[in-house]
Structure 1
Amino acid sequence: MSTVLDVDSHEMAPLELWGEVFGDEIASRIHEVGFDILTRTRANPLSVPDLTGDTTPINQETVWQLKGASAPSAIDLRRRPAVLDEMGIARQLVFPTFGLFALILVNDPNAHVWFGFDAEKFNGREIGQLAVAAHNDWAAEITRSTSDRVRPVGIVMTDSSVDSMIEQARTAIERGIRALMIPANVPPAGASPAHPQLDPFWRLAAEADVPVTIHLGTDNGFITSSAWSKGVEVFHPSDKSSIELPIEPYRATNIHYCAENMISTMVLGGVFERHPTLRFGAIELAAGWAGPLADRLDVWAATMFRSRLKDTLSMRPSEYLARNVRVTPFYFEPLARYFEQHPNVWSMFCYATDYPHVEGGKDSRTVLAEALSSAPATAREQFFTTNGELLIPD
């Protein structure tokens, strides 16, 4: 069996099948609102009226070239082990598509603008909370009924209290879920991730060997003003935009801001010192920022704040990043250059297909292997297998 690990894939049931997959109650509430975005996104489209089921044959062409809801096992995760066999992948995390839509409703104050619904008539936040619960029910059922090679990620909402976060996480873990996801754009429970009040949450995840992740699509609203790009023609989202990412240069090149923000607070605030076995992933938020972040934190910790941090950190910040944090590059990023420039944190970089989303590119395994062709074989093995074990332990 292959040892390649894939730390980012998705379910992608279309709007028309949400009732069948996630339950009639939440589907009817969503249909009642009539979210404009659900029928107008061209990239990773959420509405596919002619698709009636998950019947596409599983072969090299369909698993590496076909994108969207018609790709095999985009809808029926019971078919995913056969897809993994065809792709030569041992284990895979499965992030939400439906659930990302739900989280944006809960956490993005501008969701009504982006999603196209009347905020005075419909409570988007309440509907989002119901949809998150429906996703978690689905994730637990797939975890129970499908191979352990396929690991749906449970969502933990952070808009309430730490006690609520702990209860959500504990419930997910008790249901067998082996990875968690929190929003990237808001302070968890209204506090710094490094605040001592969050320690019970981090401790629970660490002791259960369950990684905590953030993911593209939950970064919306981190930059509170939209004026930075509004009215500039070159920053207008293209027709390839999706609910995860409005494709345009400004947004694409700053999607990592929320990840850097959260991870910096966790490292410098001693979270990984206090919880050395905590597993953390920043998924589909690019990877070129990881090495420079390690350098920057090391410089500040060793100079200006050496005295202040001496009782908080026993290692260099880059060592915590290398030990506890994983990131995923897009298929077009120059991986060999990242390895050459930052070998000390190469353990952060992991392979991800983003299957079946278009952002994952086609033949990503071949493309990224070629990108690393000049690197040592050990670096390629780390990228495709060893590094990912932190987020997908055996």
Structure 2
Amino acid sequence: MNVPMFDADQHYYESDDAYTRYLPKRFLDEGRAVRVVRSEDKQYGRIFFGDQKITFFGTNPVETTGHPGALLEYFRSGGGTGNALTHKGVLNADDLPESRDRARRLAWLREQGVEGTLMFPTSAVGVEYQLQSDVEAMNATLTAFNRWLEDDWGFGSTESPIYCAPLLNLTDLDWALEELDRVLARGAKVVHLRPGPVGLTRSPADPVHDPFWARCAEAGVPVDFHLGNSGETDYYSGLWGERRDLPQHRFSPFQRVTSFGERAIGDTLLALVTHNLFGRVPDLKVMSIEHGSEWVRPLLKKMDRAARMCGPKDWPFGVVTERPREIFKRHVLVSPFPEDDIIGLVELLGPDAVAAGSDWPHPEGEVVPRDYVARIEGRLPEGDLLKVMHDNTATALGLPLAAPVAS
């Protein structure tokens, strides 16, 4: 395989003190901290915020997770008994030491022929939503987490090409701007926002948030939206008689359609385009990671049709005069699931808007990152293959492009 890889989606498994190492002591004393709780009669730890269990996880995913590639094997085998992510059994993250230690991961990436990677949380993407009821504690927790992240993994460099995304939230804009400036000064090249409305009351593209977006654009830093708990199970599926507190690996079929990623990312990007964010901040780049891509084609079609039906007074944050799909293609980088129609996505969006992401070491992803190459090698022109496997992600981060590796 003679193409370099810059992986747009890999993960680490957090240590127990990821949320508390730098958290001011008063939040612990007041019971306003995210913590892993273990008791003698429980086999695995659970994650709590104060005395409230984080419902997105049944147990701490660090201690019980599926094998890398488990979901793809489940699809190939035609299903079977057990859960799609754990049908092969579970493992502890410590069984994959590269998922827990930066030095081991760097050595492993070199062995795997991966030149660089974006790195995202495992538990943290399922925690933030339940912290919204206590904005002060949420801000303190995210700041503490970002400091832990810099300690244990770093924000990336040419010598350590693991580019981690610090977590931000727009509910308190003053805090968001302060924390954004802090992580940018520490070298962050990508930042993360949870998909969905801000505080359940505002669009992320409401002009009140423009100072944040403008600062990201000015710094040349893309904003990632990664799969996690965006709240649909709480404020949507519950309306249909479905349980609001199921862990994600036990979602019903109804919840997997309505409350597991596609709706949140589709609505979020719909808001960014039709609420005219890119018209006001034209140099901004955003990324959709681990949401797959089946939702992209119908979203583009619906956006274009809706735009044709609206008059000048129907746009709450300024008229969008360009065709919405063209705005999307220019500003959004999409990382499809390995099992998605990747070639069809490239044909739909163009080769500059698609990025390969292995999701390693999560069970939903590839067994090893470069398995992704085999899915599209020989099916795309060499230049387009290089963009998808390496250059689009590198470009988004302001990093050098690659030349094909000699066979």
The TM-score with structure 2 as length reference comes to 0.72
Q: For residues 165 and 42 of structure 1, do their structure 2 counterparts lie closer, same or farther at Cα, with a shift above 3 Å needed?
A: closer
In structure 2, the residue matched to 1:332 is 339
Cα deviation for residue 95 of structure 1 reads 1.0
Cα RMSD over matched residues?
Answer: 3.7
- Structure with the larger helix share: 1
1:288 aligned to 276, 284, 294, which one? Answer: 294
Cα deviation for residue 290 of structure 1 reads 1.5
Q: For residues 351 and 298 of structure 1, do their structure 2 counterparts lie closer, same or farther at Cα, with a shift above 3 Å needed?
A: same
Structure 2 counterpart SS, 1:90: strand
1:213-362 aligned at under 5 Å gives the runs 213-221=224-232, 224-227=235-238, 230=241, 246-254=250-258, 255-301=261-307, 303-305=308-310, 307=312, 312-340=319-347, 342=348, 344-362=349-367
- The one-letter amino acid paired with 1:133 is T
Runs of 5+ in structure 1 lacking a partner?
Answer: 49-65, 110-122
- Partners of 1:181 and 1:196 in 2: CA distance: 19
1:207 aligned to 218, 243, 253, which one? Answer: 218
Does the aligned pair in 1 maintain the 2:191–2:222 contact within 8 Å?
A: yes
- Partners of 2:324 and 2:179 in 1: CA distance: 30
1:357-376 aligned at under 5 Å gives the runs 357-367=362-372, 369-371=374-376, 373-376=378-381
Cα deviation for residue 203 of structure 1 reads 0.3
Structure 2 counterpart SS, 1:333: coil
2:143 aligned to 120, 133, 156, which one? Answer: 133
Does the aligned pair in 1 maintain the 2:167–2:193 contact within 8 Å?
A: yes
Q: For residues 192 and 69 of structure 1, do their structure 2 counterparts lie closer, same or farther at Cα, with a shift above 3 Å needed?
A: same
- Partners of 1:208 and 1:260 in 2: CA distance: 26
Does the aligned pair in 2 maintain the 1:322–1:346 contact within 8 Å?
A: no
- Partners of 1:205 and 1:327 in 2: CA distance: 18
- The one-letter amino acid paired with 1:167 is E
- Partners of 2:279 and 2:377 in 1: CA distance: 32
Q: For residues 319 and 225 of structure 1, do their structure 2 counterparts lie closer, same or farther at Cα, with a shift above 3 Å needed?
A: closer
Deviations 1:247-275 (A, max 9, x none): 54333334211111111111112211221
1:47 aligns with 2:63: yes
Q: For residues 253 and 225 of structure 1, do their structure 2 counterparts lie closer, same or farther at Cα, with a shift above 3 Å needed?
A: closer
- The one-letter amino acid paired with 2:213 is W
Bigger relative CO (Cα 8 Å, ≥ 6 apart): 2
1:71 aligns with 2:96: yes
Matched residues, percent identical? Answer: 22
Does the aligned pair in 1 maintain the 2:286–2:332 contact within 8 Å?
A: yes
In structure 1, the residue matched to 2:16 is 18
Cα deviation for residue 381 of structure 1 reads 2.6
- Partners of 1:292 and 1:4 in 2: CA distance: 29
- Partners of 1:333 and 1:375 in 2: CA distance: 15
2:182 aligned to 141, 148, 171, which one? Answer: 171
Cα deviation for residue 336 of structure 1 reads 2.6
Moved more, 317-326 or 197-206: 317-326
| Alignment: residue pair count | 348
- Partners of 2:146 and 2:110 in 1: CA distance: 26
- Partners of 1:33 and 1:304 in 2: CA distance: 53
Q: For residues 363 and 253 of structure 1, do their structure 2 counterparts lie closer, same or farther at Cα, with a shift above 3 Å needed?
A: farther
Structure 1 counterpart SS, 2:181: helix
Deviations 1:216-248 (A, max 9, x none): 11323366143367569xx997xxx65xx5454
- Partners of 1:43 and 1:89 in 2: CA distance: 31
- Partners of 1:98 and 1:143 in 2: CA distance: 18
Moved more, 21-30 or 287-296: 21-30
Cα deviation for residue 12 of structure 1 reads 0.4
- Partners of 1:257 and 1:287 in 2: CA distance: 12
Q: For residues 392 and 189 of structure 1, do their structure 2 counterparts lie closer, same or farther at Cα, with a shift above 3 Å needed?
A: farther
Does the aligned pair in 1 maintain the 2:23–2:140 contact within 8 Å?
A: no
Cα deviation for residue 332 of structure 1 reads 1.4
Does the aligned pair in 2 maintain the 1:99–1:131 contact within 8 Å?
A: no
- Partners of 1:222 and 1:71 in 2: CA distance: 31
- Partners of 2:208 and 2:38 in 1: CA distance: 39
Cα deviation for residue 80 of structure 1 reads 2.6
In structure 2, the residue matched to 1:58 is none
- Partners of 1:246 and 1:377 in 2: CA distance: 41
Does the aligned pair in 2 maintain the 1:67–1:355 contact within 8 Å?
A: no
Deviations 1:56-115 (A, max 9, x none): xxxxxxxxxx994432421112333222212222221111124324414314x7xxxxxx
Structure 2 counterpart SS, 1:393: coil
- The one-letter amino acid paired with 1:209 is G
- Partners of 1:391 and 1:257 in 2: CA distance: 24
- Partners of 1:389 and 1:75 in 2: CA distance: 24
The TM-score with structure 1 as length reference comes to 0.74
Does the aligned pair in 2 maintain the 1:157–1:182 contact within 8 Å?
A: yes
Structure 1 counterpart SS, 2:175: helix
Does the aligned pair in 1 maintain the 2:16–2:35 contact within 8 Å?
A: no
Does the aligned pair in 1 maintain the 2:7–2:114 contact within 8 Å?
A: yes
- Partners of 1:231 and 1:197 in 2: CA distance: 34
